[in-house]
């Protein structure tokens, strides 16, 4: 139909009206579909410090990736589910994530939770990238579970060696916090083995489960009743601080060691002077001055107003591994296949090499640390 | 209906649209304008107002919450600082007392779950716990909190300082603590954050607002929404609204929602209150208003469209009704009921329509009247054709079929009309040959030639031949083409008469020959009588001539007497004068004057003498010439003007006495080889006639002599007068001898006869006369420049010619004699 001036006016008016109406309704911006990753960390409970730090690391990695354009232009979105060390809540959380069809799940930070999550994730075919899940029991399975941390308990070895070799101590007591058995059981076995190999002697471990009623003083007394030459604290940093306080009150010069689990800032904050001289292992050199690490450390501090720590680095590196896999995933390839194809990744401080089961292949370094002056210092 | 458009209605210049569409669209346009205006008003004015309103509400909530929290913490701060001051001043309290005090505080405090007082090294020495927790007092005993940041800050600032949130060693829950320096010791109170979500919920205005509390590190510590799964201590420091933290509404995404919110700082623990709403909710009001406005405007538009549609439809229908009426009128129905309309213009249209109908009716009536007249006249015409009793009129088409057969045709051919119509003539009266001729005639008539009247012979019914005088011509046929009319008259009777006439003619010839014989006999007798008469005439002519001569001599003498007399007188005068002179001389009385007088007188006298004598001499020579010419029919070559002048001179004296004027205009190139005497005599006679007859009883007159060359070898000489003319009854007889109108008055009646004889005889010319009563007379003499040889002596009159009185003029050049052809052969 040839448009006369009258027709033209009408069309213009109609369009203007339409535009007005549409504008008023606040049109929704349609971005491209985001890449969704699930996050299941212990943000409450005794392992909250691990969870929060790990989550911060994941957040930082994702925010940095989004600032660089996301995954091929698609933004990355994190869906948070807390596991609260409550199996039911955990179940519900992962179900929700599976239902939300996330590309992968980041976390958990404890092996105990991992034990619950791994079969669920494997059944759903969703990649589970673990955080500080150190248990040896999780290794060597062909499942959807991947991690970038060592499962061979190098801290057990390091502590055993240090206590035997450096301090020449043979009679060692161990106190175990039992809320994370998949981790603690193999650890003790390893420690026992390493100690025995060094001709040390591990006393029967003292078990407790942390609760609001935990009487650390009593525990300390029980430990000292074994008359150890040194005490190894296979507990969280909080428990380690509490125990150290009690032990050092009773025995101020008692040599203490803590598993990697305990080597956090919380230990220093809560322990204060009581943890001076405590020996532990850290998986990362937090004083690394290389530009890459410095940049991330600075960014972390600015973002979270707290110093970066090991769980955060683990979370950061683990997330970056997953992001890289997402970027380089080919069509008709699962994320797991991508990871197994790629195998080698770059972490903040060292390379990450995955084996066929999703565990770390190469021995990454660990750092023996001792608490001096309220800081973790290198052992000479 | 003719497909041709009358020239005064223009074709549509561009596409046309139905009235419904045009009006409706116009209405819609008009209706859209307020809609647009309202929409724009809302969008540009009210919507921003409403937005800022919502944002203001949020800000108020944030402020309220922040104030509440600040109050909450400031009260906590005050409490602890009071306690700290107490401990500062009460140095002598012992450990148990301190603990009792602290326990009491822990129990009663709304805020603090746990209180502890350290020693100067920062180790906890006294704790205050709620009753349910007191059994774990030992856990805290000796705990070194000196490395804790907030403790260090409190001592550095020497005032209370809030910690970051952390997991309490006492409750294992998220806690925020306040450290108050007590000298070198520190008093720390831990506040459970657990109830803060409840507080937030209270402030959230029935969950319309999402209130989140962020600690110093921007970690989420409380959320009014409640569902905190996985988000405990979630760091929201990346949100712009948190980073800005100063009360301006910002849009951000959180928990998969698009939110708009504002963050305010909570002094004290340096927290932030983040108050947010889903955008849709915050501006939901706007959306609702938009919807309502759109609905109402839409309704209004719909109503407008409806009204527009109805109005246009009604109007279009009315106009269509008018159109239908007009079409009906075009088809001739004038009885339609009037269309009533509330619209003035349509009412006028209706009136005009009715007027038009009336005008049409009138014109139709007038047309019918004139049609009737036409029909009447046509009827009359047909009646004329039909009723003419004698003229048979038929109409034919090109093929010769009968279209009209009038009553006369019926009686003529004895064929009834109904039998004749549609048939060709060969079926009625013609044989094939005649039909072919007829068709040929039609074809000729078709070319515009009217044939006839021609005679048509037919076989009559009674065996007698039928003669018809027929004409055939074409007339235009209705609807173009030609028809042919045949009109016939029965001339059989006339033909019969003709036949009889011819028979009579034959018998006439016989009688004529008889008569001729008798005539020739009488002719002979007449001839001899004529001879006698001619002899007598000759004698008379001679005596006439003598008489003429005599008068001529008389005239001459008369003429001469005057100049000679004058001369004698002049001579005698001269003689007298001379004698006088002689006497004077002799007497010696001669004077000069006398001599001069004498000379003058003598000169005058001599002049007179000379003149007169010369005149006499001229006269004499003229007369001599005339005599010579008269007596001798001498032929010589002469100039015409010469002879004419001579005559004029001759007649001059006698004419001088009359009031009549003679004028001559003669071409002096005209030379004749002829008889001047005869010519002169002619002229004399004609002039005398004019004087005598033409100007009789008149006191004026004019005679003109003209001559000019005509054909080679001829000239014409005219003598014209303006006298009384010759009457028509006399004109044929003027040349007759002895014919005169002045019988007994001097004329002998021979003048013109002589003239005629001379002119036609010796001069070999012609003489014509034209005359009209009271106008004048003109004699035209046509002469050959060379007169014929004088075998015919002048004295011999043309006897034969003189016999018949009505002698026609001699035959001139051949005259075209068209014989009137008799068409009806």
Domains of chain B, each with CATH number or no CATH? 71-192 (3.30.450.20), 196-286 (3.30.450.20), 388-492 (3.30.450.20), 496-627 (no CATH), 636-816 (3.30.565.10)
Q: Are B192 and A73 in contact (CB under 8 A)?
A: no
pLDDT recorded at residue A11? 62
Q: Decide if pLDDT at A353 tops 80.
A: yes
Q: What pLDDT is attached to residue B805? A: 45
Judge whether residue A2 has pLDDT over 60: no
Residues of B with CB below 8 A from A241's CB? 143, 169
Closest CB to A43: pick one of B35, B144, B230: B230
Q: Where is average pLDDT lowest: A64-73, A105-114, B122-131, B191-200?
A: B191-200
Q: Which residues of A touch B31 (CB under 8 A)?
A: none
| Contact criterion met (CB < 8 Å) for A216 and B256 | no
Which residues from B are below 8 Å from A16, CB to CB? 36
Tell me: the pLDDT tens digits for B296-330? 888 888 888 888 788 888 888 888 888 888 898 88
* Mean pLDDT to the nearest integer, A15-32: 52
Predicted confidence at residue A85, as pLDDT, reads 61
Residue of A nearest to B237 (CA): A303
Put simply, the answer to whether B39 touches A20 (Cβ < 8 Å) is yes
Pairwise CB contact (< 8 Å): A48 & B290: no
Nearest chain B alpha carbon to A2: B15
What span, in angstroms and rounded, lies between the C-alpha atoms of B790 and B153? 190
> With 60 as the cut, is the pLDDT of residue A13 above it?
no
pLDDT at A165: 87
Confidence of residue A296 (pLDDT cuts 50, 70, 90): very high
Confidence at B797, pLDDT banded by 50, 70, 90: very low
Test B256 with A305 for CB contact under 8 angstroms.
no
Mean pLDDT across chain A? 85
| Residue among B17, B144, B254, B272 with most chain A CBs within 10 A, to mutate | B144
Question: Which residue, B219, B140, B718, B328, is CA-closest to A51?
Answer: B219
* CB contact (8 A) between residue B39 and residue A24: yes
Say if CB B144 and CB B116 are below 8 A apart.
no
Mean of the per-residue pLDDT values for chain B?
82
DSSP secondary structure letter of residue B219: B
List CB contacts (< 8 A) between B217 and chain A.
304-306
Other Cβ atoms less than 10 A from the Cβ of A64: the count is: 17
pLDDT at B208: 75
Residue B172 with chain A: CB contacts under 8 Å: 45-46, 210-212
Q: CA dist B38 to B43, B285, B512, B596, Å?
A: 8, 17, 134, 147
Task: Report the SS3 class of residue B722.
Answer: coil
Whether the per-residue pLDDT at A338 is higher than 50: the answer is yes
> Looking at beta carbons, which residues of chain A come within 8 Å of B29?
9-10, 13
pLDDT of residue B627: 60
Q: In angstroms, what CA-CA distances link B434 with A44, A233, B459? A: 142, 159, 12
Shortest CA distance from B169: residue in chain A: A238
Q: What is the pLDDT of residues B75-116, one digit of tens each?
A: 888 888 888 888 888 778 788 888 888 888 888 887 888 888
**pLDDT exceeds 50 at position B390:** yes
Q: Residue A325's pLDDT band (boundaries 50, 70, 90)?
A: very high
Would you state the pLDDT for residue B648?
A: 87
What residues of A are in contact with residue B280 (Cβ under 8 Å)? 26
Is-above-0.80 flag for pTM?
Answer: no
Q: What's the pLDDT tens digit per position in B698-756?
A: 888 899 999 988 888 899 999 999 988 888 888 888 888 777 777 656 556 777 888 88
pLDDT computed for residue B35 by the predictor: 82
- Percent of chain B beyond pLDDT 90? 6
Give start-end residues of each CATH 3.40.50.2300 domain in chain A.
35-150+288-353, 154-282
Interface contact B256-A77, CB threshold 8 A? yes
pLDDT at A58: 94
Lowest mean pLDDT among B49-53, B133-137, B730-734, B759-763: B133-137
Q: Is A20 on the interface with B (CB under 8 A)?
A: yes
Cβ contact A215–B139 (<8 Å): yes
**Above pLDDT 90, what percent of chain A?**
26
Which residues from B are below 8 Å from A305, CB to CB? 164, 216-218, 237
Do residue B238 and residue A303 have CB atoms under 8 angstroms apart? yes
Residue B454: the pLDDT is: 85
Instruction: Tell me what pLDDT residue B361 has.
Output: 87
Highest mean pLDDT among A11-15, A246-250, A329-333, B219-223: A246-250
CB-nearest to B29 from A9, A46, A303 is A9
CATH architecture of the domain A154-282 equals 3-Layer(aba) Sandwich (3.40)
- Closest residue in B to A10 (Cα) is B29
pLDDT of residue B629: 53
Query: Do B230 and A82 count as a contact with CB atoms less than 8 A apart?
Result: yes
B139/A20 touch (CB, cutoff 8 Å), yes or no: no
Asked if residue A165 lies in contact with residue A218, where contact means CB atoms within 8 angstroms, the answer is no
Q: At what angle do helices B676-689 and B751-760 cross, to 10 degrees?
A: 150
**Confidence grade of residue A63 (pLDDT, cut at 50, 70, 90):** very high
Each as own residue / partner, the long-range contacts of residues B414-419 (CB below 8 Å, 24 or more positions apart, any chain) are: B414/B461
pLDDT in the model for residue B555: 67
As a whole number, mean pLDDT of residues B44-52 equals 87
Which tokens belong to B481?
Answer: 């083409």
Q: Kindly report, residue by residue over B223-232, the tens digit of the pLDDT.
A: 887 666 667 7
Residue B198 clears pLDDT 80, i.e. is over it: no
Q: Which residue of B has its CA nearest to A41?
A: B230
Phi and psi of A24, rounded to 5°? -65, -25
pLDDT for B626 equals: 56
What does the pLDDT read at residue B541?
A: 75
Would you call B528 exposed, middle or buried from its count of C-beta atoms within 10 A (0-12, 13-18, 19+)?
Answer: exposed
Identify the weakest region by mean pLDDT among A176-180, A276-280, B12-16: B12-16
Picking from A64, A68, A117, A115, the residue whose alpha carbon sits closest to that of residue A92 is A117
The phi, psi pair for A50, rounded to 5°, reads -65, -50
CA-based max dimension of chain A: 105
Do the Cβ atoms of A274 and B144 come within 8 Å?
yes
pLDDT at A360: 84
The predicted structure's pLDDT at residue B3: 52
Task: State residue A233's pLDDT score.
Answer: 93
Q: Give chain B's largest Cα–Cα span.
A: 233
The pLDDT score that the predictor gives to residue A25 is: 47
Residues of chain B contacting A214 with CB distance shorter than 8 Å: 136, 139
Q: Where are the alpha helices (DSSP H) in B90-230?
A: 95-108, 137-140, 149-157, 196-203
Considering only residues 145 to 164 of chain A, which have any Cβ-Cβ distance to chain B shorter than 8 Å? none
Comparing CB atoms, the residue among B28, B139, B148 nearest residue A217 is B139
Average pLDDT over residues B565-591: 88
pLDDT value at residue B138 = 82
Task: Give A-chain residues touching B142 at CB under 8 angstroms.
Answer: 245-246, 248-249, 274
Interchain contact, A245 vs B143, CB within 8 Å: yes
**Interface probe, candidates A26, A40, A65, A315, chain B, greatest B C-beta count within 10 A:** A26
Of chain A residues 292-311, which have a CB less than 8 A from chain B? 303-306
| Length of chain A in terms of residues written | 380
List chain B residues with CB under 8 Å of A211.
172
Measured over the CA atoms of residue B629, residue B635, residue B638 and residue B644, the dihedral's sign is positive
**Cβ contact, residue pair B172, A271, below 8 Å:** no
Contact B229 A274 (CB under 8 A): no
Residues A35-150+288-353: name the CATH superfamily. Response regulator (3.40.50.2300)
User: What is the average per-residue pLDDT within A30-53?
Assistant: 82
* Structure confidence at residue B801 (pLDDT): 44
Nearest to B233 among A39, A52, A268 (CB): A52
> For residue B200, is pLDDT > 80?
no
Return the pLDDT at B819: 44
Element (H, E) at A218: helix A216-224
- For residue B621, the tally of other CB atoms under 10 A from its CB is 12
Comparing alpha-carbon positions, the chain A residue that sits nearest to B163 is A269
Q: Measured between alpha carbons, how far is B255 from B210 in angstroms, rounded to an integer?
A: 12
Task: For chain B, give the number of residues.
Answer: 825
Between CA B737 and CA B721 the distance in angstroms is: 22
């Amino acid at each position: 139909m040839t448009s006369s001036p009258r027709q033209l006016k009408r069309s213009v008016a109609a369009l203007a009206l339409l535009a007005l109406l549409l504008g008023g309704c606040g049109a929704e911006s349609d971005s491209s579909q985001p890449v969704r990753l699930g996050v299941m960390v212990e943000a409450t409970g005794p392992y909250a410090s691990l969870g929060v730090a790990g989550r911060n690391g994941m957040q930082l990695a994702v925010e940095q990736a989004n600032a660089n354009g996301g995954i091929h232009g698609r933004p990355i979105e994190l869906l948070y589910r807390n596991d609260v060390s409550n199996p039911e809540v955990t179940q519900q959380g992962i179900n929700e994530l599976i239902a939300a069809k996330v590309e992968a799940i980041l976390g958990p930070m404890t092996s105990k939770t991992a034990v619950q999550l791994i079969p669920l994730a494997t059944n759903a075919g969703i990649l589970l990238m673990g955080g500080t899940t150190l248990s040896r029991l999780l290794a060597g399975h062909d499942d959807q579970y991947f991690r970038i941390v060592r499962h061979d308990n190098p801290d057990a070895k390091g502590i055993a060696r240090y206590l035997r070799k450096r301090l020449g101590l043979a009679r060692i007591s161990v106190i175990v916090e039992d809320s994370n058995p998949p981790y603690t059981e193999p650890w003790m076995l390893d420690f026992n083995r390493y100690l025995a190999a060094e001709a040390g002697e591990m006393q029967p471990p003292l078990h407790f489960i942390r609760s609001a009623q935990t009487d650390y003083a009593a525990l300390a007394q029980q430990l000292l009743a074994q008359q150890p030459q040194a005490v190894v604290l296979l507990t969280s940093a909080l428990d380690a601080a509490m125990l150290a306080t009690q032990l050092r009150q009773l025995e101020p010069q008692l040599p203490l060691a803590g598993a990697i689990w305990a080597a956090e800032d919380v230990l220093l904050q809560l322990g204060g002077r009581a943890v001076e001289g405590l020996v532990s292992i850290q998986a990362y050199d937090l004083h690394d001055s290389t530009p890459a690490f410095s940049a991330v450390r600075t960014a972390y501090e600015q973002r979270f107003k707290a110093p970066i720590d090991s769980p955060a680095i683990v979370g950061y590196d683990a997330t970056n591994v997953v992001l890289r896999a997402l970027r380089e995933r080919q069509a008709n390839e699962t994320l797991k296949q991508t990871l197994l194809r790629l195998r080698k990744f770059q972490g903040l401080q060292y390379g990450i090499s995955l084996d066929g089961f999703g565990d770390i292949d190469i021995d990454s370094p660990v750092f023996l640390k001792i608490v001096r002056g309220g800081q973790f210092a290198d052992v000479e | 209906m003719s497909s041709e458009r009358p020239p005064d209605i223009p074709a549509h210049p561009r596409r046309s649209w139905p009235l419904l569409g045009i009006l409706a669209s116009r209405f819609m346009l008009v209706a859209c304008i307020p809609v647009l205006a309202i929409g724009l008003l809302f969008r540009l004015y009210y919507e921003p107002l409403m937005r800022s309103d919502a944002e203001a509400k949020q800000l108020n909530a944030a402020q309220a919450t922040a104030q509440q929290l600040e109050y909450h913490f400031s009260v906590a701060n005050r409490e602890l600082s009071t306690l700290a001051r107490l401990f500062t001043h009460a140095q002598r309290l012992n450990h148990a007392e301190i603990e009792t005090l602290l326990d009491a505080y822990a129990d009663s405090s709304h805020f603090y779950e746990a209180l502890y007082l350290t020693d100067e090294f920062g180790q906890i020495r006294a704790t205050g716990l709620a009753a349910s927790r007191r059994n774990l007092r030992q856990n805290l005993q000796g705990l070194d909190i000196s490395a804790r940041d907030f403790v260090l800050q409190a001592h550095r600032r020497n005032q209370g300082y809030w910690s970051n949130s952390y997991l309490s060693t006492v409750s294992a829950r998220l806690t925020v603590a306040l450290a108050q320096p007590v000298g070198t010791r520190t008093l720390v109170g831990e506040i459970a954050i657990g109830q803060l979500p409840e507080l937030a919920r209270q402030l959230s205005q029935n969950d319309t607002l999402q209130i989140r509390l962020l600690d110093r590190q921007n970690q989420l510590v409380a959320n009014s929404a409640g569902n905190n799964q996985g988000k405990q201590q979630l760091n929201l420091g990346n949100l712009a609204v948190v980073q800005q933290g100063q009360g301006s509404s910002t849009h951000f995404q959180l928990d998969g929602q698009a939110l708009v919110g504002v963050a305010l700082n909570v002094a004290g623990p340096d927290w932030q209150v983040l108050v947010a709403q889903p955008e849709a909710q915050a501006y939901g009001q706007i959306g609702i208003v938009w919807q309502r406005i759109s609905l109402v405007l839409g309704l209004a538009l719909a109503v407008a469209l409806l009204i527009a549609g109805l109005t246009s439809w009604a109007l279009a229908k009315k106009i269509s009704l008018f159109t239908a009426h007009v079409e009906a009128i075009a088809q001739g129905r004038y009885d339609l009921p009037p269309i009533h309309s509330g619209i003035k213009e349509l009412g006028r249209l209706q009136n005009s329509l009715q007027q038009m109908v009336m005008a049409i009716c009138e014109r139709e009536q007038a047309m019918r009247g004139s049609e009737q007249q036409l029909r009447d006249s046509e009827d009359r015409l047909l009646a004329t054709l039909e009723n003419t009793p004698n003229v048979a009129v038929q109409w034919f088409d090109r093929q010769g079929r009968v279209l009209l057969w009038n009553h006369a045709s019926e009686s003529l051919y004895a064929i009834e009309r109904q039998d004749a119509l549609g048939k060709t003539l060969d079926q009625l009266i013609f044989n094939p040959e005649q039909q072919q001729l007829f068709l040929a005639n039609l074809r000729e008539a078709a070319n515009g030639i009217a044939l006839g009247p021609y005679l048509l012979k037919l076989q009559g019914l009674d065996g007698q031949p039928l003669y018809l005088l027929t004409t055939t011509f074409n007339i235009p046929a209705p609807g173009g083409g030609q028809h042919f009319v045949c009109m016939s008259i029965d001339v059989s009777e006339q033909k019969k008469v003709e036949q009889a006439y011819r028979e009579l003619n034959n018998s006439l010839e016989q009688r004529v020959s008889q008569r001729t014989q008798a005539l020739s006999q009488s002719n002979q007798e007449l001839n001899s009588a004529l001879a006698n008469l001619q002899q007598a005439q000759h004698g008379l002519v001679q005596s006439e001539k003598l008489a003429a001569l005599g008068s001529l001599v008389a005239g001459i003498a008369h003429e001469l007497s005057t100049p000679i007399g004058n001369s004698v007188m002049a001579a005698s005068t001269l003689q007298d004068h001379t004698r006088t002179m002689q006497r004077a001389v002799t007497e010696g009385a001669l004077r000069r004057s006398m001599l001069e007088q004498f000379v003058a007188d003598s000169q005058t006298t001599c002049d007179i003498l000379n003149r007169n004598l010369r005149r006499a001499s001229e006269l004499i020579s003229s007369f001599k010439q005339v005599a010579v010419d008269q007596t001798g029919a001498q032929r010589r070559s002469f100039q015409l003007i010469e002879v004419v002048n001579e005559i004029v001179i001759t007649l001059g004296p006698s004419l001088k006495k009359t009031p009549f004027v003679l004028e001559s205009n003669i071409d002096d190139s005209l030379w004749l080889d002829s008889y001047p005497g005869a010519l002169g005599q002619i002229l004399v006679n004609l002039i005398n006639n004019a004087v005598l007859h033409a100007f009789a009883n008149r006191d004026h007159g004019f005679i003109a002599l003209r001559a000019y060359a005509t054909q080679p070898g001829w000239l014409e000489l005219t003598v014209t007068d303006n006298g009384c003319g010759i009457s028509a009854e006399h004109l044929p007889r003027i040349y007759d001898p002895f014919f005169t109108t002045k019988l007994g008055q001097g004329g002998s009646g021979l003048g013109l006869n002589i003239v005629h004889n001379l002119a036609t005889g010796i001069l070999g010319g012609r003489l014509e006369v034209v005359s009209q009563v009271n106008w004048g007379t003109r004699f035209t003499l046509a002469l050959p420049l060379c007169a014929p040889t004088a075998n015919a002596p002048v004295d011999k009159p043309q006897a034969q010619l003189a016999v018949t009185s009505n002698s026609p003029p001699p035959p001139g050049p051949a005259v075209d004699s068209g014989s009137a052809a008799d068409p009806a052969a």
